[in-house]
Structures are given as structure tokens and as C-alpha cells.
């Protein structure tokens, strides 16, 4: 019955966060609402089937939350992000629940944990 979820991430500067998610993580902006005149910016970034709403609206939640993103291959994504020059990545670790995970923190302290199933040896 459920199809997907979109995580709302509170940000202090949507344009700075937008650049981080696009340039560092390979997301693209799919839409935005920028009323101008100092009003909060609200936008969506997406990569494959994962989307985040980045919001400057104070009522949209606290800064520095944590989200977990299932990916096809955490090791491959980690290598891609290193190649993009992303810093502050925690090295991939094998979690006790059978996934390889790593984390990074965005400019607002939001923690993104990426994980994929550990392949069984053939």
C-alpha cells in the first residue's frame, strides 16, 4: 500500500544546502518555492527514488536530525562521494543487522546514514 517517503530536513540556508546536496551528493533540484523578500525557501532534491524536502521554515522541524537511506551498494556510493571530494565521511562499517553503513553530516548537522545489505559470499 505504501509507495515511498520523503524526509523533511530543516536547513538554515536552503541555497547552501542545495549546493551541498547537488554538488557533493549528486542530487538534483526537482522543484522549489522561493517567495523572495526574505521569506523561507522550500525545495526538493532528488536522486533516484530518494527525495528530501529542504526547508528554511522554523516550524518544519529541528536542525540536526538523522535519516537512514537504503542504497544498492554502500561501498560504491562511499567511493563515489570520496571521488567528489566529500569530507567528514565516517568509514563504512558492518552493522550487526547485516548491512554495511556509513554516515555523513550536512551543513546543518543533519546526519545521513547510508546502508546496503552485505553480500553473502558465494
10-47 pLDDT, tens digit per residue, is 999 999 999 999 999 999 999 999 998 989 999 999 99
Q: What angle do CA 64, 70, 72 make, to 5 degrees?
A: 140
Q: Which domains does the chain have, with CATH numbers?
A: 7-117 (3.10.180.10)
> Which pLDDT score, from 0 to 100, does residue 61 have?
87
> Which pLDDT score, from 0 to 100, does residue 1 have?
85
> Which pLDDT score, from 0 to 100, does residue 120 have?
62
> Which pLDDT score, from 0 to 100, does residue 44 have?
98
Own/partner contacts of 39-42, CB < 8 Å, gap of 24 or more, are 40/14, 41/14, 41/15, 42/14
* 8-109-77-46 Cα dihedral, nearest 10 degrees: 30
| Cβ partners under 8 Å of residue 65, min gap 6 | 9, 10, 110, 111
Using DSSP's 3-state secondary structure scheme, residue 11 falls into: coil
pLDDT in tens, 72-101: 999 999 999 999 999 989 999 999 999 999
Over residues 58-63, the mean pLDDT reads 88
> Which pLDDT score, from 0 to 100, does residue 48 have?
95
Q: Under a CB-based contact definition with an 8 Å cutoff, are residues 112 and 94 in contact?
A: no
Q: Which helix (H) or strand (E) holds 14?
A: helix 14-19
Over residues 34-62, the mean pLDDT reads 94
Amino acid at each position: 500500500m505504501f509507495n515511498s517517503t520523503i524526509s523533511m530536513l530543516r536547513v538554515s540556508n536552503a541555497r547552501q544546502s542545495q549546493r551541498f546536496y547537488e554538488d557533493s551528493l549528486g542530487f538534483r533540484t526537482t522543484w522549489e518555492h522561493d517567495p523572495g523578500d526574505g521569506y523561507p525557501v522550500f525545495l526538493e532534491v532528488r536522486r533516484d527514488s530518494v527525495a528530501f524536502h529542504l526547508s528554511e521554515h522554523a516550524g518544519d522541524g529541528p536542525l540536526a536530525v538523522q535519516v537512514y537511506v537504503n542504497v544498492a551498494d554502500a561501498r560504491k556510493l562511499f567511493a563515489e562521494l570520496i571521488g567528489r571530494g566529500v569530507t567528514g565521511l565516517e568509514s563504512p562499517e558492518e552493522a550487526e543487522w547485516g548491512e554495511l553503513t556509513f554516515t555523513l553530516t550536512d551543513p546543518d548537522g543533519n546526519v545521513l546514514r547510508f546502508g546496503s545489505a552485505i553480500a553473502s559470499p558465494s
